[in-house]
Amino acid sequence: MLPKIVLRNQSKTQLVIAFLGAFLGVLFLLISVHYLLKVNQFGEGSEMLGPNTLIIQKKVSATTTLQLSSTTFSAHEIKLIEKKSFIQEVQPVQSNNFGVEFATSDPMLPYFRSDVFIQSVDARFLDVKSKLWKWHDGDEFVPIILPRDFLVMLNTFMSSSGIPQVSDELAKDVNFSLLLSNDFSKKQFRAKIIGFTNEVSSILVPDSYMNYGKETFGKRADEQITQLMLSSKEKEFGLFEKFLEEQHYESKNSQLVTGRLKSVVSMLLLVIVFISFLTLIFSSFVLIQYIQLLISRNVYEIRTLLRLGYTPRKLYRVFVRYFVLLYLVICFGATAIFLIFKSQIDAILHSSGIYIELNISVFTWITLVISFVLFYLTSLLSAKKSVLKEF
């Protein structure tokens, strides 16, 4: 009975406009938040180094070859890099100054050995802060991150030996060994692959293992820093890249391209999220205004009901229930359209060879729930205030 009395005198045109506005706002928000998250997740998991992590070195030119300029980083240069606003972390990359031999050590695989270079990386540069990324003397295994090219090379060897190739996952289950040596001694360690990288050409080991190797087998000589591991701040990849260019530093191109693309697309999507958010705020504002308009158009009915003994709460809840139901319809409708839109976009990306995760992030749903809760609270406050005014 109450809705029949207090929800009269509607302005259909205004209601439809407010409804469509909120519908488009929710739809844009869902789409933009979803793809923003997907773009940021793109490529995650396949790379152990963080998404904004690069190993840089100075470009080798005729002058460096003729030793007119140096390819090493001085302490002053490292300090200057550290001070840049867009730099999050800097660490000199340590390389082995002792002999390292990498070999298979598993009955599942034929024997294979190779002299390799190893470099150390601190856990803070890893994308996955793996608990495995530590080593103490006496540990059963040395955790290593293998260059993906190395696995390709290993598979080529397997293939030529008529043995099935090894997948990423299988490679992580297989035992390998590292043999550290110098002219006088050597020691073998069991090694386990915990991940892969496309960015470095040498095998990566924890700092502690590198230090152990240097202390035990290393040559006593001043160490030259020729590579630095850097991580840039999110969304400032452009500045980072410009800086590398100005300083004549170089890095692997693939990371730069991915980083640049992700940075640009993320920025664009952030702008779209912002615009969607504004659209949603304004359209919700129109809906809230409509609640007030509806209450003012039915002020006689509200006053009379209050005089008959109805509580203000009972009356404003009629409005809140009506508009919350309306917003629920908007959310469900927008979600349905979003799912259709998403399947189309995903199909287009898939056919273009861009494989993004198909699942919808929980954060997308959280955004929807937050928008719903905010709308509920705003409509509650607005309806309550307007009804109480008539008491």
Partner 1 sequence: MKIEFKQVLPVPLSSMEHPTDSVWNTNVILEQGKKVVIEARSGRGKSTFIHLLFGIRKDYTGNIFIQDKNLSEFTQKEWVTYRQNQVSIVFQDLQLFPFISVFENLKVKNDLTKHFSDDQLISMLSRVGLVDKLNQPCGQLSMGQQQRVAIIRALCQPFSWILMDEPFSHLDELNAEICMNLINEACEKHQAGWIMTSLGMDLKYDYDKLIHI
202-212 as b/e: b if 16+ CB within 10 A: bbbbbbbbbeb
Alpha helices in 298-311 (DSSP H): 299-308
Residues in contact with 372: Cβ distance below 8 Å, sequence separation at least 6, in sequence order: 327, 328, 331
CB of 386 to partner 1, least distance (A): 15
Closest CA relative to residue 173, chosen from 194, 198, 201: 194
Stretch that binds partner 1, among 81-89, 256-264, 306-314, 360-368 (CB under 8 A): 306-314
CB of 383 to partner 1, least distance (A): 16
Stretch that binds partner 1, among 78-86, 127-135, 171-179, 297-305 (CB under 8 A): 297-305
Stretch that binds partner 1, among 40-48, 144-152, 178-186, 310-318 (CB under 8 A): 310-318
Both tokens assigned to 230: 């850097």
- Is residue 307 part of the contact set for partner 1 (CB under 8 A)? yes
- Is residue 248 part of the contact set for partner 1 (CB under 8 A)? no
Residue 185 dihedral angles phi and psi, to the nearest 5°:
-145, 165
For partner 1, give the closer residue by CB, 336 or 388: 388
Residue 379 dihedral angles phi and psi, to the nearest 5°:
-65, -35
49 pairs with which residues across the strands? 126
Among 211, 304, 335, 361, binds partner 1 (CB under 8 A): 304
By CB under 8 A, what part of segment 1-30 binds partner 1?
Answer: 1, 4-5, 8
CB of 311 to partner 1, least distance (A): 5
Among 107, 138, 162, 309, binds partner 1 (CB under 8 A): 309
The answer to whether residues 198 and 256 touch, using CB atoms and an 8 Å cutoff, is no
For partner 1, give the closer residue by CB, 8 or 79: 8
Closest CA relative to residue 166, chosen from 115, 108, 126: 108
CB of 384 to partner 1, least distance (A): 12
- State which amino acid sits at residue 156: T
The tally of CA atoms less than 13 A away on the side-chain side of residue 4 is 1
CB of 314 to partner 1, least distance (A): 9
Q: Rounded distance, CA 159 to CA 174, Å?
A: 17
- Is residue 294 part of the contact set for partner 1 (CB under 8 A)? no
Binding residues for partner 1, total number by CB under 8 A: 14
CB of 325 to partner 1, least distance (A): 22
Assign 4 to helix, strand or coil.
helix
Task: Give me Rg for the CA atoms of the chain.
Answer: 31
For partner 1, give the closer residue by CB, 7 or 261: 7
Closest CA relative to residue 81, chosen from 259, 265, 246: 246
CB of 323 to partner 1, least distance (A): 22
Q: Terminus-to-terminus CA distance in the chain, angstroms?
A: 20
By CB under 8 A, what part of segment 352-391 binds partner 1?
Answer: 391
Among 296, 311, 343, 344, binds partner 1 (CB under 8 A): 311
Interaction site with partner 1 (CB under 8 A): 1, 4-5, 8, 301, 304-305, 307-312, 391
